[in-house]
Amino acid sequence: MTNKSTDKNSIKILYELIKKYSNKDEIIEKYNIKSGAFFKHLTEIKHANFEIIKDGPYYKIKAFSNNFNLTSLDTSLIAHLITLSYFSSSKKRTKNLTTALKKILLFSSKEKYDETLNKIELFKKTKNYMDYSNKISAFEEFINKNKITKIMTLSEKTYILKPIKIKRNESNIYFHFYDEIKNENKTIPIEDIVKIIPIDESKDNIEYKKEIIFELYGRLAKSYVLKEDERLIEKQANKIVVANSSSDKNILFKRLLRYDILCRILFPKDVTKEFQNLINDSLQKLKSGF
């Protein structure tokens, strides 16, 4: 399926064929498409692993081929569509959409069918679902495209993280991320997230690529004053994480070396290794008496 209008008409025709035997001329008239376009859409539907039965001018979906499998992302998207339809002012439209999507699910496996129904029930119970749906859709897209994202939270913290998966329970939805800087996983409740955007579409992309991220511990963390080319990423009781965008790495190294074991470079990894080698060289010189 090549573009949005083509996708839309193909889905409309697919819906008609799932419901019942449908007359070609009635579909052409109903959706205002040409005969040639109708057959083009049929071809696209077949390419999506649907088997179409033809009886004179009538067409119907028979079944999926056995190798068709829905992913968790697919079931989430279908669950979102069905859940959003419950907020529609048209009860008939809700019923039609729900019926069609559930029939599509039945062509897959019972496991995926039950998985989707469970997600629908959870989404319907989720507080502020309409506000959350855009965040969920964006998050799933970033997972699918393997994007690094910038996260802004209610506590006014900013993180650069890689989306991994969504976890749900009866009361809330949680986004799970991987922090490449700290080499650890991080979980944030959806209600705490104000904004989530891919950094390659934000003005921070260039800065992120050239920044050096380091940690400071203990008393130094409490008393440290940010330099002009630095910003605070994270603050805890006995630790802070700082991003330095200085163009002179050697000057930064000389300053950080004075902090000894109270300092550690986290990112980029090649700079971390370079700094560690510098420390090791300094220790060797001390041991050998220069």
**What is the CATH classification number for the domain harbouring 45?**
1.10.10.10
- Among all chains, which residue has been given the structure tokens 């090791």? 280
Please count the structural domains in the chain.
4
pLDDT at 204 over 60: no
Residues 59 and 76 in one domain: no
22-to-35, 53, 59, 67 alpha-carbon distances in Å: 14, 10, 5, 26
> For 172-195, what is each residue's pLDDT tens digit?
788 999 887 777 889 998 888 888
Are 149 and 140 in contact by the 8 Å Cβ rule? The answer is no
Residue type, 75: T
Structure tokens at 107: 């062509």
pLDDT, greater one: 128 or 117: 117
d(CA 7, CA 2): 7
* CATH number for position 228: 3.30.70
Residues 41 and 108 in one domain: no
For residue 276, being part of any structural domain is answered with yes
Are 68 and 42 in contact by the 8 Å Cβ rule? The answer is no
Residues 14 and 44 in one domain: yes
> For 211-234, what is each residue's pLDDT tens digit?
888 999 888 888 899 988 888 888
267-to-17, 35, 207, 242, 245 alpha-carbon distances in Å: 54, 59, 13, 11, 12
Burial class (CB in 10 A: 0-12, 13-18, 19+), 120: buried
Residues 60 and 89 in one domain: no
Residues spanned by the domain of 155:
131-201
Q: What is the pTM of this model?
A: 0.40
Grade residue 4 by pLDDT with cuts at 50, 70 and 90.
Answer: very low
Are 139 and 175 in contact by the 8 Å Cβ rule? The answer is yes
> For 53-97, what is each residue's pLDDT tens digit?
888 888 887 755 544 567 777 777 777 777 776 665 566 666 776
Residues 39 and 103 in one domain: no
Grade residue 290 by pLDDT with cuts at 50, 70 and 90.
Answer: low
Residues 239 and 265 in one domain: yes
Residue 182, helix vs strand vs coil: coil
Residues 137 and 197 in one domain: yes
Which pLDDT value is given to residue 50? Answer: 76
> For 268-282, what is each residue's pLDDT tens digit?
878 888 888 888 887
Residue type, 79: A
Are 266 and 181 in contact by the 8 Å Cβ rule? The answer is yes
For the chain, percent of residues with pLDDT exceeding 90: 2
- Phi and psi at 282, nearest 5°, equal -65, -40
Residue 86, helix vs strand vs coil: coil
pLDDT at 3 over 50: no
For residue 206, being part of any structural domain is answered with no
- Mean pLDDT across the stretch 123-127? 66
> For 224-267, what is each residue's pLDDT tens digit?
999 888 888 888 878 888 888 877 888 899 888 888 778 888 88
